Structure 1
Amino acid sequence: MPVKCCFHRSPPTETMAWSENMDTLLSNQAGLDAFRTFLKSEFSEENVEFWLACEDFKKTESAEKLVSKAKVIYSEFIEADAPKEINIDFSTRDLISKNIAEPTRKCFDEAQKLIYSLMAKDSFPRFLKSEIYKELVHSRQVGNHKKWLPFL
């Protein structure tokens, strides 16, 4: 069954470039959307959501907003039984728990590195083999050929 989705705006070369590395994929909105769809199908979208929340958190200028965002990230992803609890080791979780009262821009760095590594080594290779990615590449290749070969 072909996967129907909304990622048909990227040119074929862009879709193929996503396979180069995870940074290329995550820095492209259509690639990120496709990867999120894949992670949702595997019930692991909390990983990319946490990674994105950390990226946003690190750009926070206001000390007040930093504290409130840190608490949201902590309650959503870090604390035991969080709604989108990420899979990190006890020592990393414990360190964040101890530092959450006075968070810095770097307070989630270790957890973010762990989650990035997990996605890069596990989810990303599976994404590249998934029907979602194969369908996107195929639809762009066929679409590209149709420009030049209208009889296809």
Structure 2
Amino acid sequence: MDTVVFLFPQINFSAPKEEAYFKMLGETELRASRMKDGNSRNKDKEKDKKSRLSLLLARSGSHENVSPEKNPPVKTNNIPPEVALRWSDSFEDLLGHPDGVEAFTKFLRTQFSEENIEFWMACEDYKTTESATKLQSKAKQMYAVFIDAEAPKEINIDHSTKQTIQKNIAQPTQSCFDAAQSKIYTLMKKDCYPRFLASDIYLALTKRKGPVVMTRRRSRSFVFSERGEATTPWL
């Protein structure tokens, strides 16, 4: 006697054909719907993964407050005006002070260009990495966050520099991102830094109502006043 195998044991075949058919069809559609939902969730996870990569970079080094979500507002009460005024001496002085970096980062957010300072800081951290394993991991993360064409915080560098980085991260060294970092540094110094000194953010820190004029001493014989006038210190 032949053995009959039922592919759909959950269906009552003694019921009318129409009822059995629609029950089978409904379960098939349910399985298809579940598969579709699963694929959709996987795509959403991939999108979320890229957006979280910037946070991974921040956690990997000492600059863990780079991201907008974690970086608190600059507390002007804690920064003496005379300290903030020294940041106008040079861009190097600004980046050499933690509060200066924080204030500059806040300004760049208002300009929708915070990726520049974040990339520069990530490069500073990257160059201090000695472990070959960590170096490779950080290089891939930085490429995904700042260099790739679909990077969530893509920096503005030329195609040739991007290609060189893509080639070098296969066997990364501490100098992989030096060329790109130099270009971004120059961009910030020549374009962003002067606008920062004239911004409300910086003026609030210095307790001034107008743009701060460079106060660096040019010689012992004279200094520049706030108005930009040359005066002798003994008069």
Whether the TM-score (by the shorter chain) exceeds 0.5 is yes
Supply the distance in 1 between the matched residues of 2:194 and 2:138 (Cα, whole angstroms): 31
- Unmatched tracts of structure 2, length 5 or more: 1-72, 209-235
What is the aligned counterpart of 1:26 among 55, 78, 95? 95
Instruction: Confirm or deny that 1:95 pairs with 2:173.
Output: no
Partners of 2:147 and 2:140 in 1: how far apart? 10
Larger RCO: Structure 1 or Structure 2 (Cα < 8 Å, ≥ 6 residues apart)? 1
User: Do the aligned residues in 1 keep the contact of 2:74 with 2:102 (CA within 8 Å)?
Assistant: no
The yes-or-no answer on 1:83 pairing with 2:83 is no
TM-score (normalised: structure 1): 0.86
Which is higher, the Rg of structure 1 or of structure 2? Answer: 2
Q: Structure 1 segments of 4 or more deviating over 6 A?
A: none
CA distance in structure 1 between the partners assigned to 2:125 and 2:176 by the alignment? 13
Among 65, 68, 72, which residue is 2:141 paired with? 72
Distance in 2, Cα, partners of 1:19 & 1:51? 20
Q: Does structure 1 residue 135 correspond to structure 2 residue 168? A: no
Matched, 1:115 2:169: no
Check whether the contact 1:7–1:33 (CA below 8 A) recurs between aligned residues: no
User: Mind listing any 5+ residue stretches in structure 1 that lack a counterpart?
Assistant: 140-152
CA distance in 2, matches of 1:13, 1:65: 40
How far apart are residue 108 of structure 1 and its match? 0.1
The residue aligned with 1:8 is 77
Q: CA RMSD in A?
A: 1.2
Structure 1 residue 56: deviation in Å?
0.1
Hey, what's the Cα distance between the residues in 2 that align with 1:5 and 1:57?
Answer: 26
| 2:17 matched residue in structure 1 | none
